[in-house]
Structure 1
């Protein structure tokens, strides 16, 4: 019951869907259940199990081959972007959470492979933070800068990121056939991350709404959605509507396309949560999830 309440809330974004007669609990009960389930789902062991950036050659070669088939762009391992998840105005450092579009948000760094699996997720930065800064302070940056990922492996990012030997961005003013061809292939290939973010938000319409929690708790809930998204991918649970996949940060959509997936997802998630301590205590602080991301490779390798 706890699992299905949590999944229903994340899939619909509507508290009333979880307090209807078929389930019966009060809103305060649903809130406590959400806290407990999300805390159990976002323990470091679970995060590392389902969101993990590869460093072994065989996996990297396979991911490069998957991207190569899209538009012929060589040596791409993942695509990267930031997406904004709305939150209510926090009581501390409120102004730092106002993004360039004027609403309060968490700027979430997300990295997808060609099969729309999340390989790195950093849901902790205030909305005013630029994507490039989020990356520069992330464990993913350390993996590449310190050569934990072999040279010659590339991320694709948009022009908001700096050009690096491992991070390829488009030409700002392409002139000539080669730069134009490069930009065309880059655009088609990088579109994976935009569609991936769109899929994530379609599965969990909660991410389209203002999250009515502190930034710290919002970060945990976003991470839980990323883990559940990857579980859906592993279990081949499809998206059941035909809406456009592209990310729309301003979309307030509140549909329930994720609802038919709840039973299948519950079956996969329940055993994981049974192995975790059922605590309602959240980790607090601005360092949230730094060490639950790909940076773990640097600490444990």
Structure 2
């Protein structure tokens, strides 16, 4: 009598028919389901084609295009099951493996660096400044910075470190946007309990870009009161006096509104970031976040808007930025440098900046 293993080997394999979505769906349908049009999907596929196209003699092997499409569907919805409900063909186990493989390829440093770039040259920084001036007249700004919590399932290791001040597990992600809502820097590798100020202090922005004077003079980021004031990081006054300080705070708030709208665009475009990311370990979640940021910039470059009419948020309340300006919301971990102990240099620089640029009668 044949053994079960022999029967399994002799049994012919069956394959489900797979949709040729690139040719069956128009660009509007592709954007609705996968957030990119046909040319955009092929563009992203070409970035990782050699990595994903492994030689095989098996029939019905997944093409690089199909692997990218499956991954885009997951990022757009946050639900692996919807990849199967689209009749794409692969089993749930295959979908999971393909998503991991594709995320690993897309999150490589050389590929991310092509699309998430911090402005360094005088020409780039001057263009960023001009774009921000058009919002509220705030001079010298090349980016706005804040953190946003990406909800995750409870990890098996160091579980308590991932509980944020709102008592759920998350990755605290630092993002910098330009005035056109492009992501020019992202740090997505810190547990939810870590304060925004510590993430900034340990980041390449603080240690290399600004810390080593890589930028022309007069380049600033705008942050909320969760950050320490620095010569290159301007924060609002806690209790502004009438006149220049009030004018400064008003323009600061209007200019920084780019941050909340930018994070809102990112999370509405990729709903995987809006709810709880059900993958593990946290390092894989970090790949998801970085790839979404890169794809967001690709969509901006290709003028692909955010589709409407789909909602995978499960009715959760939108919570985009970390909102450290709210006085009643205290982080689990105090900032590395409390306001009373911050170096006076940054605060004095802010006063000088305000007196020069906001000393008017508005």
Q: TM-score range by the shorter chain?
A: 0.7 to 0.9
CA contact (8 A) 1:14 1:206 kept: yes
Higher relative contact order (CA 8 A, sep 6+): 1
TM-score, with length taken from structure 1: 0.80
1:110 maps to 2:171 = no
Task: Single out whichever of 189-198 and 14-23 deviates more from structure 2.
Answer: 14-23
The secondary structure found in structure 1 opposite 2:184 is strand
* Structure 1 residue 24, shift from structure 2 partner: 2.3
Corresponding residue number in structure 2 for 1:49: 114
1:122 maps to 2:187 = yes
Corresponding residue number in structure 1 for 2:307: 240
Task: Single out whichever of 34-43 and 100-109 deviates more from structure 2.
Answer: 34-43
CA contact (8 A) 2:162 2:169 kept: yes
Corresponding residue number in structure 2 for 1:271: none
The secondary structure found in structure 1 opposite 2:210 is helix
Corresponding residue number in structure 2 for 1:97: 162
- Structure 1's 21 and 59: CA in aligned 2 closer, same or farther, altered over 3 A? closer
Between the aligned partners of 1:139 and 1:226, the Cα distance in structure 2 is 17
Corresponding residue number in structure 2 for 1:77: 142
* Structure 1 residue 21, shift from structure 2 partner: 5.3
| Alignment counterpart, residue 217 of structure 1, candidates 284, 290, 293 | 284
RMSD: 1.7
* Structure 1 residue 209, shift from structure 2 partner: 2.1
Structure 1 residues not aligned, in runs of 5+: 244-248, 253-301
* Greater Rg by CA: 2
1:172 maps to 2:247 = no
CA contact (8 A) 1:151 1:166 kept: no
CA contact (8 A) 1:81 1:111 kept: yes
The secondary structure found in structure 2 opposite 1:145 is coil
Corresponding residue number in structure 1 for 2:252: 186
Count of residue correspondences? 248
TM-score, with length taken from structure 2: 0.66
4+ long deviations beyond 2 Å: 240-243, 249-252
Structure 2 residues not aligned, in runs of 5+: 1-65, 311-315, 320-362
